[in-house]
Structure 1
Amino acid sequence: MNSRLLSLLASLLCLTSFAQAGARFGKGEINAQATFDITFTDRAVPSALGTSDTIYTFTPALTFTQETSKLNASAHLSAPISRYEDNDQLDSDSLSFGLSGDIPYGAGPKWSGSWNVSYFDGIRANYFTNSNLNMETLSASISSNYQIGRKLGLRSGVSYSDRSSNGIAGSSFLNDNETTAVYAGVHARELLGRIGAYVDYRIQDRKTDRGLINQGVDDRDDGINFGITGQILPERLFPKLEADLSFGYTSTQTSESVNRDGGSDRLTLNGSLRYPANQKTNVALLFSRGLDVTDDDRTVESSQATLSVDYTPRQRLAFVSSLGLSSNDFVYSENARNDDVLTFQVGARYSIRPNWTASAFYNLRESDSNVAISDYSSSQLSLSTTLSY
């Protein structure tokens, strides 16, 4: 934990507490927040061996938002402090930072794009390793679009992530891996009515420092990706639909020592459908299929889909719910493992006052696996309240 950053956060919280809510900072607004959360869980550790516990979390935070016609930006700095009633070896003092923004289409006027930077240092539950891990992660990405005509543009992007972790509470491994990805292509807006299309070429490199459970997952993925955007369903039935659906064919080059039962060519999918059903209800469908590297150096082919519904019957009251399905196949591995997972979440938020909110969330996770430690069900109930200054 970086003590200087924590001291800075504490000082800023004290200074901001004397300011009015939503103090102006440049062209944006800065807020200080304090959140207290109680979570009742029957799996303190995400595995069949996990036991029940009660978790108390206090999170001081600073947030910044700016929304203009030419630039949108947001940032947060928080320091979650978690304490377990029984499993005190899982106690953590974490640090989280995020910065994101975008230049809207047409504001450039030819350039548009977005960026994101995030950092986390602390303990998190990890479902692939069935354990809580002490980890440090840094990720950054930037994407851009340049219009070369009324409907045609160039698109490109680059992303980088560095993740290091080590086990706690009986786990013993040390891991560090880096992932770098780049893409470039063309994008045709309003190719057919309000439907657009794009195609790009993508390269992704993964590099893993050898830990105690390394299986030679260093590899390069490259392939062509196709996508469609915009009003892909009849506008009369689904007005204001936002869609971005893509698929591609990826070839994976791995080290010679790897068991190649998982194959080298595969189909990748990514997509989102967002639809405002009415003034009070928003519906979203997200899905993806691709490769990931676990914290104990195994390659996973993961397919997942999530349906979420947000409902706001009153200005101060909001309900959220989501249903997710995923299938995780551990490839290039001598010990084949498959996890089929069902997740469900339902919750509510209520604004007691403009700067005071309360929320309650229930989460259910059902994991069906051919490995005993990954075959389990878990549930959580979280109650929290947040004050903003």
Structure 2
Amino acid sequence: MGIATAPEIIAARKTAAEAGYNLFKAVHLASAVRGALGLGVDAGAKPLFDAMHQADPTLDLEPSDLEAVALLAAVLSAEMKERSRLGGLTALALVTAAFGAVRQSPTHPQLIREAEETLANMQISVASRPTDSAAPEMPSDVTGSLDEVTIQNTPYGQIVAPAPTKAAIRKVADYALAVQAAAIASVNNANAYTRRLEEELRTYWWVVGGWSDELNKPFRLMKQSEAAILAGYELAAKTTLPLGLFAALALLDRVIREDRKGRPQKLALSDSIAEAPAVLQTRFQAATALNGDLLPVSLALQLSGEVGEDEDWRPRFKRITRISADSKMGPHDLALQLYREVVIARVLPRAK
């Protein structure tokens, strides 16, 4: 849409974007991120465009249209503003696919910045300490129902009037179920918090120990790129938080820089991948088969493991991701990138 677009058309496009937002679910995440970053609009975005077209019949999009890219970016931006679980995953997916902000939305220049801010804010607030709980108060109508239970005198003795008794029993049972549900929720919250503390403790000892689970040796004895790739992968395996850890970069920095002097050097991605341990080269096939373009480091590791020693994986990598394998990254950026890729890959569609 140009600057001279009629106001009624702009209003209709807003209605279309709202329809896409209302339909947007996790199953559409990969396709929407891919489209919003200008990496191509695939069939996974079709349900969103169908909903948009239904809301605005004048909308007739082709996958190559910048308007399609703009509408998908608008849907993702709106979802992040909600600060919902899906909004957090949207932010993580965008930040990860942006590859250190190398890739940006062609129609929404601030989209990645919005994603970075949303992700940081939601990571900080994701884990709150459980608060003291109290049992639900007994509703006044329960007491009233019990008061309505009457005893009738008959030639055969005293009997309890059936109808009021049944009503009272039902209300007492409902109250008991409400108390039970509140107790279960309280216990589940405490259990979730305990599991989080256990994860943090395990992560703490992993960082302090500086020992690789995969290679069974200290990170300080590895080449820096090898340590960075392993550290990113192993840290992701130690947390179940859907958005990852806010302090991930600081933790990775401590692991990578232990006993190393001098300023860390940036290396071409291809050189870093050449130093990666072979044990990781077969770990990403399921994740990259469908979404390799959104997971660049994972894809590079997978492709490097597929080709022979004399073959070059870099042209294929550039064709899929539109990123040069000669792009330079510092070890911390490399570790954080792979960490985020492993975390977000858990919710993206995987090859069976």
**TM-score for both structures, normalised by structure 2:** 0.22
Q: Which has the higher contact order (CA 8 A, sep 6+)?
A: 2
Structure number with the higher strand fraction is 1
Max Rg structure: 2
**TM-score for both structures, normalised by structure 1:** 0.21
Structure number with the higher helix fraction is 2
